[in-house]
Structure 1
Amino acid sequence: MSDTGASATGLRERKKQRMYRTVSDTAIRLFLEKGFDAVSVAEVAAAAEISKPTLFRYFPAKEDLVLYRFADHEGEAARVVRQGSASPVEALRRHFLDGLERCDPITGLNDHPDVLAYQSLLYGTPALAARLYGYLERSEAALAEALGGGLDGRLAAGQIVAVQRILAQENWRRIAAGERAAEVRGDAVAAAERAFGLLEAGLPAAVRGDVV
């Protein structure tokens, strides 16, 4: 591909990603103001200044307007395992701890008002919480493949994804109850260290070592 062609492709992709972010941000703002069930897809399209068919080309379901923020994380665990030089569990442990250090919202350890509002919307809306499990299932499937596939890979991936989800939800639960991220961080790190230690000890030997 010529430099011009590559540049054009890159520009189109950047414009596409901007569209995703703009429409998703617009939808989330409306949902937070009025409630998820009270806002129609047509209202979101109008606020984003696009047609309803165009919106559905980007977001097949209303719930995806909110869960777009999880899209980048869907294959994250699999990427960490494939790119890591340590054992899979050790690579994922380091990645999660780094997320806690950065207060990455995906770890639940973030007390910014906008993040708390988003988390309340997500976990407080049954349709969104149910749709989230589809993202988790795809993340689990990608991780299982990165771990070598087969029953051992699927079992390990299921345990790892569950541990990450539970750790994040516990952090969010405490912060939603009024604790500050700085107050929760020490316990969050300790819980993550313990959880990943248990994973390392309990997973099959085939997935504890380096992925071939």
Structure 2
Amino acid sequence: MEREPGTQPPLCKSGDDPDAVWDVPMEACITPYTDQNHKARGSGLAPWPARLTAPPPRLADFGYSNEMFEKDTKVWQHRVENYWNLLSPKIQSDTLRNLMDMKANLGSFAAALKSKDVWVMNVVPEDGPNTLKIIYDRGLMGSVHNWCESFSTYPRTYDLLHAWTIFSDIEKKDCSAEDLLFEMDRILRPTGFIIIRDKQPVVEFIKKHLSALHWEAVATAEGRLRGRRG
């Protein structure tokens, strides 16, 4: 996209959502910066690393209270501790480096890993609330994606994929669980892991397909499935 030398790009329309990032045509315009933008997008944040667990100012945009945020943070701290205990017999200190939370919600899964030497990509589904702004406010990184499409990454990029209710969501769309498993296989490194947390019937359905992909189903319990890629 080019503009004539010496000309200034116009301001974007006032009704445009500056946080919209999925399937939005690029325009040669500048989003106006106002005092309201400053208050909503940056001020009032706790310094790092306290901002990982401190309720960000924009929670109310999604109907969350500080208490709900703190509860979500504690729930995922407990779950991640259980995940790590489940994985510990199979991993070394540097086995897990690149992780992906395929449905990040508020980013509490990644926040619970702050003491681990890992890098986490937080993915927000394109058809849900755009909580990416909350993830950014927590000092984390992320992206918006539709899991009926390929994720923009090199093959064999991730050591662990965390799929929380992703397969239940796929059932409502025009793609299949098998399609998603193929995509996960593409971006998961050899000997990498998946953790699927979903309804028990969904977990049992997924488990039936793992041998065809040369994955090892290591454990199932309470709607959780841990798989390892061969």
TM-score by length of 2: 0.27
**Greater length-normalized contact order (CA 8 Å, ≥ 6 residues apart):** 1
Normalising by structure 1, report the TM-score.
Answer: 0.29
